[in-house]
Structure formats: C-alpha cells, structure tokens
Amino acid sequence: MQNEAVARLLENIAAALQLKAENIFRIRAYEEAARNIRFLKEDIAENWRQGRLTEVPGIGTSIAQKIGEFLQTGKSAYLQELCDGYPVAFLELLKIPGIGPRRAKLLYDHFHVTKLDDLADLARRQQIRQIRGMGPKTEEQLSRELARLGQRTQRLPLGIAWPLAERIASLLRNSPAVGQAEPAGSIRRRLETIGDIDILVASDRFAEIRKLIADLPLTKEILASGSTKITFLTAEDFQVDIRIVPQESWGAALQYFTGSKEHNVALRELAVQKGYKLSEYGIFEVESGRKVGGRTEAEVYELLGLTPIPPELREKRGEIAAAAAGSLPRLITLADVKGDFHVHSNYSDGNSSIAAMVESAIAHGYQYLAITDHSIGLGIARGINQEKAWRQWEEIRRLNKQYAPFRILSGVELEVRATGELDLSEELLAGFDFICASVHSGTRSDAERITKRMGSALRQHWVHVLNHPGGRLLNQRPPYEYHLDQLLQTAKETGKALEINGSYLRMDLDDSSARKAKEQGVLLSLGSDAHSVAGLDAMQLAVAIARRAWLEPADVLNTLPLAELLQWLEREKL
C-alpha cells in the first residue's frame, strides 16, 4: 500500500510550489489531492493500474500523471525540477510553526539553512535577526518552537484529551464570568488523536477569565494572551487554547472552532453562493451587511439550507451534500448500545470479578454483557483453558440467576494462530455463548499472510466477531499492512462482524475503515475491551468512531435488544 507515500509526494510538491510563490489554488489542489488519498481505503496503485485515478476526488489528468510516474519509477521529475537549487530536505523547514514559504526561502538564501539543527545554531548566535523583516522577537519565537519540536509529545489520544477538556470546561463554567464553555475543535469531532485542546467560552469579561486560568491548579504556564484567545500549558505539557466570544456569536463561533477546516471552507463557499457571508461572528447578508444568524449552530446550518450536521461528520466527506438532500444518517448513540461484547475479568488479565463487571454493565444501562477473557494461547494473560472455562461457565450460570433479567454471555477472546487456527478445541468452543477472535502476534508479517490469517478466523464456524482488525496501538505501533477489501469481502460472505474497539490506544477499526465496512454491508460490533470496572466507559470511544463512520443503529450488532441478539446467536449456531 503506497497511499501514504503518494500523499507525501503530493504534499512535498505543494510545499515546493509554495516556495516558488505559485498560484495558491494550484497549491491547494495538490494538498486536497493528498488529503483525499489519505482518506482512500483502496490501494492507490490498484486504482492507477485500472486507469481509474481521476475518479478519486481532487485528482485530474495532471496530478494523475505525476502519481503514475511516481508509482512506476519511485521518483518525480516534477518535484526534482521544482526543488532545483534547493535540497528536498529543505522542505522540512516549513514544518516549524512560524515558518512559511517566504521565511524558509529567506533563511535558505541567506544562510543555506537546510536542517533544523542549522537553524537552532543560527538562532543561538543571534544571526537570524540580521535578516531584514525578521527581528529579535521572531528569532526568540523560532528558538522556542525548535526546542518544543525536539521534545514535542505525540498527538494525544482522544481518550486522554476528551476527559481533560471536559474537566477544564467544567472548571470554567463554575465561574460567574462564563456564560457557556465547551470543548471544540477535533475533540468535539471526536477525532482519534488531538493536537491542541480547544475550548470555546462565551463571556465579555476577559480579565476575569485570564485570572481564572492563571489560578487553575493544572495550569503550568501561560504562553500567549491576546484579546480573544488565551493559550496555556498544563502540568503534563498539553497545550490548551481558550477562545472567548460574545454570547450572541456563540453558535457561529462554535461552528467555526469545531471545524474541520475543510468543512468550514466548503460551508463558506456555500454561504457565498446563497448571498451570505459566514464567519465566526455570525452569518451576514452580503447586500445589506445585516447579521441574520449565529446565536446557535443549528441556525447557521439551516440558513444555508442544510440539516444541522453532527460534529463527528464535519470532515468534508460527503456530509454537506447529504445535509442538503436531507439524507444524513441517524447516527448511533451510546443509548442505542444494549451491551458490551468485549470485556475481561480476573479469569484472565482483567482486575475485577465477573460480578463487579456485571454490576457496572447494569449501571451503564445495558441488557447483556459478554465476558470475553483471553484464551490460553496468549501466554502473558493467564488465559482460559478447559478447566477454567468450566469453572467460569458455572459462575456465570449462578450469576445469571442472581441478576436476571440481565444476561451474562459466556465468551472468550480467542487467539488466532499464525496458521489461522484457533487455540481451543471445537468441543469446548461449542459450549460458549459468544466468541471473538484476535490476532496479537506476528503483527509485522506481510499483507497477504495477515489478511489470510484474519480471514480464516472469520471462516471458523464458532467465531462471531473479529476483534481490532487493524492491529494498531496509537503512538506505539502502526496498523497491520492488510487488505481491507479482502477482509470485508470475507466478513460479508460469512455474515460475521468486525469489531470497533474503544480502548483509547486502539480505536480500531478506525473511522474510515468502519465506514467502508458499512458501505459494503458488513456488520460491526462495539467493544470496550475493559480490563476493569472503569474500563467499560471506553464504549464512548467506540461509539465516537462509529459515529465518525456514519454508522446507524442497524449497522451494529450490539444495538439489538437481548431477545433479538439471542435469536441471532441461535441462528449462527446452525
């Protein structure tokens, strides 16, 4: 799969075009094409072989030709030509906040800077301020950014950033100076990882808010403080941006600061077509300049002739056309989820008893819970063998009487061996109510092998769900190289479900894969992968992905009420 490499090529071309001060729209075209290739779940090389490159949005004949050359030769004459006189590594400079094309070019022309180290050195020797147009302040800022870049933590997983943002918002709401406060930006869109934490505040008492933030126990340092924005670092070095707007602009501002950028651009274009101007302050009639809306988000969308679009869909992936046609999906919510299909107890590597997990599931409003401890194959987890399985079934029988009508399903998370075989006997498997299967090893084997391995797990009669099919761990391990299309085909043929795992480090399937699964008619299932009572809350993250994947309740197995789920499981046994 060379999609990532192709996307980078196009981004490099876009960057090089910036240095040449090329037409901004040509630059945007390359960036847009790169973005769309990242979203694409098919192999771009396959598209190219079939001569279907220009069917990808944002790719026309010119960009298609450049992609073709790159796929064939691994190089791009066009990029080389653009970089003529500049080393390609020089494009690195553009990644530093505060350096755009103009300054990058200035730095190169004056000092032949090509590496970040060179730049740090120049800043230390106070050489940068010699350049006309760049003074001591700029030099200091660059020094700071370079230092931060060195120790920059990776993007924060949503599971960390979201609760933190809610906590800060709730602290702000406690102040009489604050009307409303909500996390915005990518947190509100439930993107799987977050750069900076954005929080929107409605207030006209800026000074009080500034003091409030300075006094928060979790504030380490205030980085910047303009008239509408305060930026600070938390004790853990996470960056938080607080935006302050007047109450009457709340809706337009929330819309604007939620993004995504691409969604907002498209919305503004639509506004222009309809004779409006849209900004974070509201929606205005162009002719009269009169403000016609902006107190609420819904108002903004409705004035543009759109059904209000849930934040999770605002990625410019077809949501605007759907909203215009009134055909947005009725997205799944946490309340639609009737049970959890992936939890561990102290029978394997969980740290709570089955009874405790059940009590928590009941408190979450569920009707059922599958206890899916690891099978023996995963050595580290003290997994389920025959003797343990019998003991666990006995306990579950007893607890089912105690907690009726709530239903505990005896389950297991099976290891899928490298051969595709499962690691418990057929006879034993037949005794479980619910079986999911996982790959936990050989994560770097080639795409053919791992796809085949997962596929053969799905074809095993007793398996209901394939867990975390992508195999990634955020910030730790990239997803498997595997053929999503093939896997989806197998899932469809067998009628088995693919899991969306809500564990904050997994978030797997990811949103665009899950969306593709839905489009192919593949069933999904949601699991928290809880290893403790508190872990059940991770269902929120699974639902977040499901919503970003446009899933409706009918697409997800565990939205079925208990009776219907039992029927489904019964049919699967045949």
Please report, as residue ranges, which positions from 225 to 254 form the binding site for DNA (by CB under 7 A). 226-229
Q: Judged by CB, which is closer to DNA: 67, or 522? A: 67
Which residue stretch of 267-275, 311-319, 342-350, 556-564 sits at the interface with DNA (rule: CB under 7 A)?
267-275
Cβ atoms 118, 128 nearer than 8 A: no
- Please give the size of the binding site for DNA, defined by CB under 7 A: 55
Q: Judged by CB, which is closer to DNA: 55, or 394? A: 55
Task: Give the residue, chosen from 125, 137, 571, 573, that forms a contact with DNA under the rule CB under 7 A.
Answer: 137
38 in contact with DNA (CB under 7 A) = no
Report the Cα–Cα distance between both ends of the chain, in Å, rounded: 38
327 in contact with DNA (CB under 7 A) = no
265 in contact with DNA (CB under 7 A) = yes
Rounded to a whole number of angstroms, the minimum distance from the CB of residue 297 to DNA is 17
Q: Judged by CB, which is closer to DNA: 196, or 208? A: 196
Rounded to a whole number of angstroms, the minimum distance from the CB of residue 414 to DNA is 44
Please state, in angstroms and as integers, the Cα–Cα distance from residue 218 to each residue in 151, 222, 516, following that order: 20, 11, 40
Question: Please, how many CA atoms are within 13 Å of residue 325, restricted to the half-sphere of its CB?
Answer: 8
Please report, as residue ranges, which positions from 440 to 499 form the binding site for DNA (by CB under 7 A). none
Rounded to a whole number of angstroms, the minimum distance from the CB of residue 499 to DNA is 33
Task: Give the residue, chosen from 127, 138, 385, 443, that forms a contact with DNA under the rule CB under 7 A.
Answer: 138
28 in contact with DNA (CB under 7 A) = yes
Please report, as residue ranges, which positions from 178 to 197 form the binding site for DNA (by CB under 7 A). 185
- Rounded CA-CA distance 487/419 in Å is 16
Site pattern 47..86 for DNA (x: CB under 7 A)? -------x--xxxxxxxx----------------------
3-state SS assignment for residue 573? helix
29 in contact with DNA (CB under 7 A) = yes
Task: Give the residue, chosen from 85, 133, 217, 326, that forms a contact with DNA under the rule CB under 7 A.
Answer: 133
Give the DSSP letter of residue 476: T
- The helix or strand, by DSSP H or E, that contains position 253, with its residue range, turns out to be helix 250-258
Cβ atoms 245, 283 nearer than 8 A: no
Counting every residue written for the chain, the total comes to 574
Q: Judged by CB, which is closer to DNA: 102, or 220? A: 102
Please report, as residue ranges, which positions from 271 to 300 form the binding site for DNA (by CB under 7 A). 271-273, 277-281
For residue 68, what are its two tokens?
């073709």
Q: Judged by CB, which is closer to DNA: 95, or 115? A: 95
Cβ atoms 559, 553 nearer than 8 A: yes
Task: Give the residue, chosen from 45, 101, 283, 470, that forms a contact with DNA under the rule CB under 7 A.
Answer: 101
Q: Judged by CB, which is closer to DNA: 154, or 273? A: 273
The two counts, helices (H) then strands (E), for the chain are: 23, 17
Tell me the longest C-alpha to C-alpha distance in the chain.
80
Task: Give the residue, chosen from 264, 410, 460, 490, that forms a contact with DNA under the rule CB under 7 A.
Answer: 264
- Rounded CA-CA distance 368/370 in Å is 7
Closest-CA residue to 77 (of 9, 22, 138, 15)? 9
Closest-CA residue to 342 (of 499, 474, 460)? 499
Cβ atoms 429, 462 nearer than 8 A: yes
Question: Please, how many CA atoms are within 13 Å of residue 9, restricted to the half-sphere of its CB?
Answer: 23
Residues engaged in binding DNA (CB under 7 A): 23, 25-26, 28-30, 33, 54, 57-64, 96-104, 129, 132-139, 141, 185, 224, 226-229, 259, 261, 264-265, 268-269, 271-273, 277-281
